[in-house]
Structure formats: structure tokens, C-alpha cells
Structure 1
Amino acid sequence: MRGAGRGRSTGLGLGLAVLLAGCPAKEGGPTEVAASPEPTPGVEASEPSPAGEANGGGGLAASVKEQVDEAREDGPPPSAEAPVVEPGEPLVAVVGGVPIPKRAFDEVYFLKVKKYADRGRTIPESADRRYRKSIVERLIHQERVRQEVVKLGLDYDPADLARRQEQQRRGIEDWAKHLDRRGETDASLRAMNIAELREAVILEARGRLRVSRAEIEEDYEKIKGNWVSDKVRVRAAQILVPLGREPRVPVTAADEAAAEAEAERIHALVVAPGADFAELAREHSSGPGSSKGGDLGIITADRMAEEFSAVAFAMKVGEISEPVKTKFGFHIIKINGRWPAGTLPIEALEDQITERLLQRKLHQGRRELEEELALSYPATHHLLTPEELSARRSRGGEGAPPETEHDG
């Protein structure tokens, strides 16, 4: 958790940050995840815990509550500054008495229009109206969320934002092209991420992101039939050092030697007293689950490369392996759970059940929060609709009038 003076960010914790970054959990049973180098179709997989071993036995919701309570004791947040508006600058709206500059609207709207201009087309009026409405509503909601965290004396943890941005960029070769295709800028996407992290802060502060033991047990009874197997299962995490630097490029002996040396270096860090495997996996691993502390979920031996399984399924819970070589690279393996054939016990599924229930509460809470904040922080729209704009242009002759109006 971070603070500045008496300011304090909630430090919601990595678990919720990862939860926010992911897609909604599927209901009704386990889902296939990229949990292994060689996935076998039809073999069970789990939804990995959002924070891996960092959750411990206390549960994600409990740790989030503790962090929010601690943040509350230290006064107002260090960030959450109001938008900067220059004298005479056009506005898009005023929210709770705070003006939002029109340039925030223009940045995103320009990219939406550019998509049509690049094809030699004019944006249809219906699309123009839809884009304007959605962008303005987004900016207004983001400002309402900002004002609410200021009121609560809380804010998001910048480390959570950094992790989320890193996860979004992972696997995308041309980030600028990706943003252009989405119709976003770095600034607008960052603002969206911050707003969503702040929504979680608010919902937790209001007690809306708590998962009870009774809820976990009820959900387990619904899904336990999906977790029956005649095979031994383990919950494994890994740090993977790939053999080559670039995919689809032949690996040389020098590449392999360099990868082995790097794996040995990381292994020394992992087994050092007080080392956090999950944190080191997020920092060093290139494999599946790296953003979730290297968590591969609950797996069976046939889900993995043979060399991997030979080591992993011979290990004890809590044990960390020496680097294991497969065709994918060098794996440092940690076993976080082990279960015999049969139905998985509730303890094996508790983390992912908690994640799924939190995901439901988060989505429902966001919808409700938008309505609640609209009542608490009234907004005045300054951006004209296309119809109003057209009418003013026709009345104004050659010179197009400004698209905004100002109080006073």
C-alpha cells in the first residue's frame, strides 16, 4: 500500500487487481485455461486463483477489507486530483460543481471519427450520436467515481494500475495499432482503468465485495460434481524461462545455455529466505499464468509435458523444484496443493469460488454504483447534440458556433 503524507491508497491487493483485469468467470463449471505447455482436450482444468499463494487461508475479500480499513485510518488519498481546466476552455460537462474540459472528449471522439475518414466516409448521424453519448457518459461517470473516492478518503494503488496495464499489453505486438483499432488513446484507456479500480475501492468500502463462508459452501455444492476425476491432481505454479528469445526462431546451443543460466539465477532468488514465488513469477516468468503468480491451476499429469509431470507429481506440497528442461524452456515448479482421485474438497476450490463470487458482486455493484453516484453528483451537459449543433450552424451562417455552452 502506498501513502503520501497522510494520504493513503487502498492497496486493494493483487488479487482484486487481477480479477479486474480478467474476463467474467463462466458459470456452471470449470473452464479450460492455458494451464500447461501441452493441454489435452477434455481434461479438467481450473480457474486459477487470482492471487495464487498470496491469498493464503484468509480469503481475498478479507484481505481487501483489512487494507481498506487501514487506508481509512490515514486520511484522504494522495491522488484523485480534479481535472485541470484552463481559463475559457470549452467544457463537456460539469459534475458535482467540477468542470470537465472538452479536450478529454475530443481525444476519443477524434479516433472514432477517424475510422470513417480513413475509409473516405462521413460518420453516420446515428453513429455520431451514439459515440458522443457514450463518451460523455463515460467521462461524467469517471468524474463521479473520482469525487466519491475523495469523499471516502481512499484511492487505488498505483501498483495495481501498473500491473493491469502490463497485463493488457502482454502479447500485443503493435500497441499503437491496437489502441487505434479500439478507438482509444493511452490516456483514455488509463482513465478507464483507474475508474474501474476506484469502483472496486468504493464497493469494498461500502461492504459490497465480501464473500461469506456460507456463500462459498453453497456454490461448492453446485459445482463439485464437475470436479470428479480418477487421477491424482496437483495445484502447480511455475516460472518459465523460454529457450529462445523470439518465437519460431531456431534455438541455438548458446540460446539454451543462456536460458539455463538465467533459470539457475532465478532459482537462487526463489529459494532465498523470505522469497515470494508468486511475485518472482510475475516478474520473471514467460509462461501461462505468469500474471497470476505463475499459477497453472489444478492439473493432472497428462496435461503437462512429460518431463514437467515427472518432477511435479513427485513433489510435496510447498516444495520448489530445480529448473526442469522441456522443449518449451526451463521450468521452476512449486506445488501448492495435492489431491487424490475422487471429488475435489472445498479447500481445493475455495479460491476460485471466491473469485467467481467476487466477479459477480463486482459486476452487479458497478451497475448499481453508476445509478447511485448519478444521484449524489448531478451533472450538467455542455456538449450539444448533433441536432442542436446543426440548428445553431444554420442560424449562425458561415461560421460554425462553438459546440459547448458555458455557465455564466
Structure 2
Amino acid sequence: MLRFVPRVSLGLCLALAVGCSPSTPTPQKTDEKAAPEQPTKAAAGEGLPALPEVVATVNDVAIPLAQFKDIYDLKVKKYTDRGREIPPSADRRYRKSITERLVYNEILRQEAKARGIEVDAAKLAERETQQKQGIKDWDKHLQRRGETEQSLRDMYVAEILEQQFLEKDGKLTVTDAEVDEEYEKIKPNYKSEGERIHAAHILIPIGPQEQPTPMGEKPPEPSQEEKDKWRKEAMAKAEELHKKATAPGADFAQLAKENSVGPSADKGGDLGIFTKDRMVEEFSVAAFKLKPGEISKPVETKFGIHIIKILAKYPPGDLPKEALADQIKERLSQRKLHQGRRELKDALLAKYKVQNKMEELLGPDPRGPKRPPVVNPSEMPAGHPPIDMKAKGPAPAADDAKAEPEGGDGD
């Protein structure tokens, strides 16, 4: 069974793009009646207070209501479009979370300016391209998420900026000693009695990728004529990509990033190391016949059409350290990134003078504090799944061949 490896997204939205004018934003009037400058707190059960003209300030830089409402109105619209009023609990949650997003956005903007750091434009463009892969109607996708084009771009900017800060501070460096130590810990998990291969693929879906539908609704069943047409189109694209992939000097990883679907596309189609029984039969038969460096002709499975490249083969027994080095570095780097982001946010919130007027108006949640979930960074998905299903260790991630392609929506 062929596995997709999902990525973890810990992004926070950056409302003001790096490099913009540092001048203080001027609060804008909304179409609604202006709220009082100092509305009073609402008692529990009497509804929420009116929205303030300035939702927060960061080092005396105002975050105006208009900026807040760019996102907030879309969240509310998701309810009104269904003929519902937003529940007070959800309304409170959105007011709080959106304001916190915008506060941290402004902190990151000011910090980037202070450090003389600009967001990596190439990484931003790549991130936006990846996000749109497989999404048929981008406008509807934004509507379902309750976001704007700019708010999602701000999210990617924030992710990249955080990583740039941590890299500049040396927080993401993985040493050889750390790799050696981790290898000794995980080596028993990768012992196998069967041959293993390290492969990458380009996956071309047959037909349009499924999009989420309203609850209770099923997508229409395509006709056999449509299915035949989709298969013919996918195979033609696969054959064209096979020619490109086998041409002298071809960059298979780049072709996968540009044309494949699923989380593995972000890693150049890299599927990691696996045994024969971890793959669907058609894929397995084709892949294990290849030698390192060889590329298969298009292989059709019920999940789409694959072009497979074998990167390495390993005999039964322990995997050598060099086979796991990239995976270990990725795992350790992800751990440091998760931890580093938390520590960075705590440090920046302590460094900057913040007045969260929205939070002051909302007051304490009448339902009481919510216990946050406990997340162990070491249990987050790493770059590749473990090999032996019987071995103890990190849980395997979802299959490339079994999971739905990327492009689903979320709030």
C-alpha cells in the first residue's frame, strides 16, 4: 500500500505583507453603524459586545476594525449562507482567534522590519502554487474556508517568516551527532526480512479531484463516457510526462512538484522506503522490477496513473544509516521547527507591547477555560513512514494510494 505523508501546517496569518509601509494603519469606518469607542462588557447570557473601532494595538500601531472584518464577515457568512445565525460560542471564538491572528501578524511584520528580513518570494510563490494544486474552483474553496486570497497569502508569509527567523538564529540546525543518536534509537524499527526500495512517483489523477460537498449531499455519479474520457486524458498526460522524465538531464523531482498530486508532490514525489507488501499490487509489481535510477512507464491503479522512479534498493536486515539519514534530518528538523515556533511566539508576545481590546471587551469565557490538547512533537508525522508495520515506533501516515488527494477544505 502506497503511502502519502501529510504535512503539518502550523501557519499563522500575517495581515500586513513584509516590505509594506511601516506607517500606522488608519482605522476605517465600516458600512455598519459606528460602534462606541468604549463599549461596555456584556454580561453572560446577554449577547456579545459591539465590535470596537480598533481591535488591538501593537507598539501603538492600530489594527482597525475594517481589517478584522475582512476575515470575520466571511466566517459569519458561512452560517448565514445556510440560513443560520452564528452561535454565540462560535462568534466569541472567531472574534478572539481572528484578533490574535492579526496581533501576531503585526508583531511578525514589525520584527521582520527590525531584523531587516524580507519574506523569501520564491518560497511564497511555491507555497501558493502547491496550495492550489487539485482545487477546481479556488473561489469556492476560499468561501468554504471563510478566508480571502490575501488572508491565505498572509498565512504562508507568516510560516515562511517564522522559519527564516529560526534559521537565522540557528534554531533549526541538525548536527551529525544528533543524526547518529537518532539512528541508534530507530534502527530496530526498520529491520525487515524482505527487500526494500526507496521510490518517488508522479501521480496523475483520473478525472477531477473530489471536492467537499454540503452535509447530506452526494456528488453526482459520472457516466461511463465521462470515465473513459477522463482516463484517456490522464493517460495522455502521463505518457507526455514519461517522455519528459526520461529525457537526458530531466529533473524528476521538479516534474513531480509541478504535476503530481498529494502531499508527496511537495517532496518531489518522494514516497520513502517501503517493502513490497506496503504497496497496491499493480504499483508493487512495476516498482520492484526496476533498478535504481530507472523510471517506469505509466502504471494505472484505482488511485490514478503513476510514473515511478527507483532511487535505491536495500536487502533484508537493518537499513544502513545513509538510507535513513535524510528521514532522520527531516524528523529532527520538524521537531525543532515545531518547538521553535512555540518558543518564538512566546518570546515575541513578551517583547512587544500589545493591547488586545477585543479580548478586554469579551471578558472571560462564561463556559470556563478550555483545556488545550497535549501534542508531543516527536509523534508528529516525519518525512517518511516506518517500514515494518509490526515494529514499534512512530505511527505510519496515510497512504498516497489510499488517501484522497490534497485539496480539501477546513476552517
TM-score (structure 1 length as normaliser): 0.66
Q: 1:359 and 2:328 equivalent?
A: no
Q: Which residue of 2 aligns with 1:269?
A: 244
- Partners of 1:174 and 1:253 in 2: how far apart? 23
Q: Which residue of 1 aligns with 2:178?
A: 215
Decide whether the 8 Å contact of 2:134 with 2:261 is kept in 1.
no
Structural mapping, 1:140-179, within 5 Å: 140-170=103-133, 179=142
The structure, 1 or 2, with the larger RCO (C-alpha pairs under 8 Å, 6+ apart) is 2
CA distance 1:371–1:341, change in 2 (3 Å) = same
CA distance 1:308–1:384, change in 2 (3 Å) = closer
Identity %: 50
Alpha-carbon shift at residue 121 of structure 1 (Å): 4.3
- Partners of 2:295 and 2:108 in 1: how far apart? 43
- For residue 19 of structure 2, give the secondary structure of its aligned residue in structure 1: coil
CA distance 1:219–1:98, change in 2 (3 Å) = same
Alpha-carbon shift at residue 340 of structure 1 (Å): 0.7
Alpha-carbon shift at residue 244 of structure 1 (Å): 4.7
Decide whether the 8 Å contact of 1:48 with 1:297 is kept in 2.
no
Which one of 272, 278, 291 corresponds to residue 297 of structure 1? Answer: 272
Decide whether the 8 Å contact of 2:253 with 2:269 is kept in 1.
yes
Q: Which residue of 2 aligns with 1:282?
A: 257
Q: Which residue of 2 aligns with 1:350?
A: 325
Q: Which residue of 2 aligns with 1:317?
A: 292
Q: 1:103 and 2:78 equivalent?
A: no
Q: 1:190 and 2:153 equivalent?
A: yes
Alpha-carbon shift at residue 109 of structure 1 (Å): 2.7
Alpha-carbon shift at residue 279 of structure 1 (Å): 1.0
CA distance 1:267–1:158, change in 2 (3 Å) = same
- For residue 283 of structure 2, give the secondary structure of its aligned residue in structure 1: helix
Code of the residue aligned with 1:79 in structure 2: it is G
Q: How many residues align?
A: 319
Structural mapping, 1:7-406, within 5 Å: 34-35=3-4, 79=19, 81-82=21-22, 85-86=25-26, 90-114=53-77, 120-121=84-85, 123-124=87-88, 128-170=91-133, 179-180=142-143, 182-244=145-207, 249=222, 250=224, 258-286=233-261, 289-326=264-301, 329-383=304-358, 385-386=360-361
Decide whether the 8 Å contact of 1:108 with 1:185 is kept in 2.
yes
- 1:51-81 superposed Cα distances (whole Å, 9 cap, x missing partner): xxxxxxxxxxxxxxxxxxxxxxxxxx98355
Alpha-carbon shift at residue 166 of structure 1 (Å): 4.3
- 1:348-398 superposed Cα distances (whole Å, 9 cap, x missing partner): 22222222222221121112111221233322445574369xxxxxxxxxx
Decide whether the 8 Å contact of 1:83 with 1:100 is kept in 2.
no
CA distance 1:48–1:233, change in 2 (3 Å) = farther
CA distance 1:385–1:303, change in 2 (3 Å) = same
CA distance 1:293–1:95, change in 2 (3 Å) = same
- For residue 359 of structure 1, give the secondary structure of its aligned residue in structure 2: helix
When the two chains are superposed, the root-mean-square deviation of aligned CA atoms in Å is 3.6
- Partners of 2:258 and 2:301 in 1: how far apart? 21
Code of the residue aligned with 2:313 in structure 1: it is R
**179-188 or 278-287, which moves further after superposition?**
179-188
TM-score (structure 2 length as normaliser): 0.65
Code of the residue aligned with 2:117 in structure 1: it is L
Unaligned runs of 5+ in 1: 1-31, 36-46, 51-76, 389-408
**155-164 or 86-95, which moves further after superposition?**
86-95
- For residue 338 of structure 1, give the secondary structure of its aligned residue in structure 2: strand
Decide whether the 8 Å contact of 2:134 with 2:209 is kept in 1.
no
- Partners of 2:357 and 2:7 in 1: how far apart? 45
- For residue 174 of structure 2, give the secondary structure of its aligned residue in structure 1: coil
- For residue 119 of structure 2, give the secondary structure of its aligned residue in structure 1: coil
Code of the residue aligned with 2:246 in structure 1: it is V
Q: Which residue of 2 aligns with 1:14?
A: none
- For residue 170 of structure 2, give the secondary structure of its aligned residue in structure 1: coil
Unaligned runs of 5+ in 2: 9-16, 30-52, 211-220, 364-411
Alpha-carbon shift at residue 111 of structure 1 (Å): 3.8
- Partners of 1:284 and 1:305 in 2: how far apart? 21
